[in-house]
Structure 1
Amino acid sequence: MSTPNLDFLEIAANAGFKRVVCDVEHNAFSPDRREALVVAARAIGLSVFFKVEGPEPVWVQRALDLDVDGVIVPHCGRLEECHAALETAKFPPRGTRSYAAGRSARFTAPDAGYFARCDRDVLCLPMIETAHAFDDIDAILAHDCVDGVFVGPFDLALTRGRETYAFTDADRADISHIARSAKSAGKPWWIPAWKPQEQRFAIDEGASVRVIAAEHQVLMAGLASVIDQLPQRSAR
């Protein structure tokens, strides 16, 4: 999702989607609308993940306090540069997340299993979208606060010296490398896969989750479909 559109969220759930990623990094999601999206998503049975503004602890903490199912952390470089943000996703002694007696705790005192349950169930997915993160992927995956990784194919291609991402042999080789590293670490990897060939490749490489539709893409496709179905004028 690129906008805090509750109608779009509900339509997606009605269509059978199970997860939603809110791209907070690139779009305008005011604090109250973020909260409304999380509450609405949970009420209609969608898991909700926030791609936060950047690899800073404050953005991770604020998303977790809204009771999201996980955070996707963009702009990660080497582990030493992003570990503070990643560690904010888990409570001490495993990480540095601060307890808030709000929505994530159901507005009450935490039960005995609350902290362990959050650490287990709330996912921390750093993005592999820079050359530095790509080079350091094994260390990133080995970090105890990391549950898996999320591929950012366009930025990865650019920072790896290519003109764009075009699902070329080089692009596929990079993604395959990430997939092998994740498999070796025993952790899942996610990828945006907009086209059928990308989706088949992701399945073959063992991707756990494919993000297959973006809000603006869906709107453009819907409008194009409506126009294509208009009756054509008869030739004169």
Structure 2
Amino acid sequence: MWVCSGSPLVAELCAGSGLDWLLIDAEHSPNGLESILAQLQAVNGYPVQALVRPPVNDTVLIKQYLDLGVQNLLIPMVNSAAEAEAAVAATRYPPQGVRGVGSALARASRWNRVPDYLARASETVSVTVQIESTAAVEAVEEILAVDGVDAIFLGPSDLAASMGVLGQQEHPKVRAAVEHCLTAAKAAGKPAGVNAFNPDTARSYLAAGAAFVLVGADVALLARGSEALANAFATRDPADR
């Protein structure tokens, strides 16, 4: 599920829920370096995988996230193999990439307490790139072929917007594009995930080959749950709310 609140307490609540993985989001959520660090610390030790999404495919931001101790990155809006290569390069020290060296200052290396961290850092990092535009769908095979891209993730909301059907994540041509990418990932031997809050859609994508699915968000659960309480117990006229 998404963790968008920026709250370490909420992140910890979600981490102990029994879910497989959490996405700590900084693209559409009020998350900076300090709050991401606090949430990583809050979920550490729970049997859940944490992915973190930066707001942009940026070398400096990715360096900072990695130094914080982020191990699983979800890179948004990757539209070409070249952009995927740039994302991977940002996670690798030279000569394989362009990641700046600051391990003595970084939580990732436990401040140089992890033996041989510089040589082995890439073994601790996964890179998942988001396919969420028509250009990305057209280039999905090339993106999947990039060495260091571990997985792809489909974003039907932005994909729908890119296809001219804004807000229609269930549109047949959006569904077809998602399923095309799932098939391409299977052929490439790499896992693919998708965002699907509709339970029937989520199950359909799992049946079509999705390896992981985002099925909810902390803020959405709180919004809908609090609305349900208000509808059940509030005495005011709903028109006055």
TM-score, length-normalised on structure 2? Answer: 0.86
- Structure 2 residues not aligned, in runs of 5+: 236-241
Which residue does 1:4 correspond to in 2? 6
Secondary structure of 2:40's partner? helix
Q: What corresponds to 1:71 in structure 2?
A: 73
Cα deviations across residues 30-56 of structure 1 (Å, max 9, x unaligned)? 322221111111143432211111112
Instruction: Give the secondary-structure state (helix, strand or coil) at the position aligned to 1:103.
Output: coil
Q: Partners of 1:192 and 1:140 in 2: how far apart?
A: 19
Q: What residue number does 1:186 align with?
A: 189
Match of 2:176 in 1: 173
The aligned runs of 1:15-164 (5 Å cut-off) are 15-101=17-103, 102-112=106-116, 115-116=119-120, 118-164=121-167
Shift of 1:110: 4.1
**Alignment deviations for residues 5-31 of structure 1 (CA, whole Å, 9 cap, x no partner):** 122112212322232111101222232
CA distance in 2, matches of 1:220, 1:31: 25
3-state SS in 1 of match to 2:69: coil
CA distance, structure 1, for counterparts of residue 123 and residue 205 of structure 2:
25
SS in 1 for 2:150: coil
Relative to structure 1, the CA distance from residue 130 to residue 231 in structure 2 (aligned partners, 3 Å threshold; closer, same or farther) is closer
Give the C-alpha shift of residue 58 in structure 1.
1.3
TM-score, with structure 1 as normaliser: 0.88
Runs (5+) with no aligned partner, structure 1: none
Shift of 1:207: 1.2
1:76 deviates by 1.6
Deviations 1:52-103 (A, max 9, x none): 1111211211111111231111122222245322321234454333343221
Q: Distance in 2 between matches of 1:121 and 1:192?
A: 25
For 2:201 and 2:92, the matched residues in 1 are separated by 32
Distance verdict in 2 for CA 1:198–1:114, change over 3 Å: farther
Q: Percent of aligned pairs with the same residue?
A: 25
Q: Which amino acid aligns with 2:152?
A: V
1:89–1:145 CA contact under 8 A, matched in 2: no
Q: Which residue is equivalent to 1:211? A: 214
Q: CA RMSD in A?
A: 2.3
Whether contact under 8 Å (1:191, 1:209) holds in the other structure is yes
Matched-pair contact (CA < 8 Å) for 2:199–2:215? no
Retained in 1: the 8 A contact 2:80–2:139? yes
Equivalent AA in structure 2 for residue 119 of structure 1: S
Take 2:232 and 2:12, find their aligned partners in 1: how far apart are those partners?
A: 25
SS of the residue aligned with 2:37? helix
AA aligned to 1:141 is: L
AA of the residue aligned to 1:111: P
Structure 2 counterpart of 1:222:
225
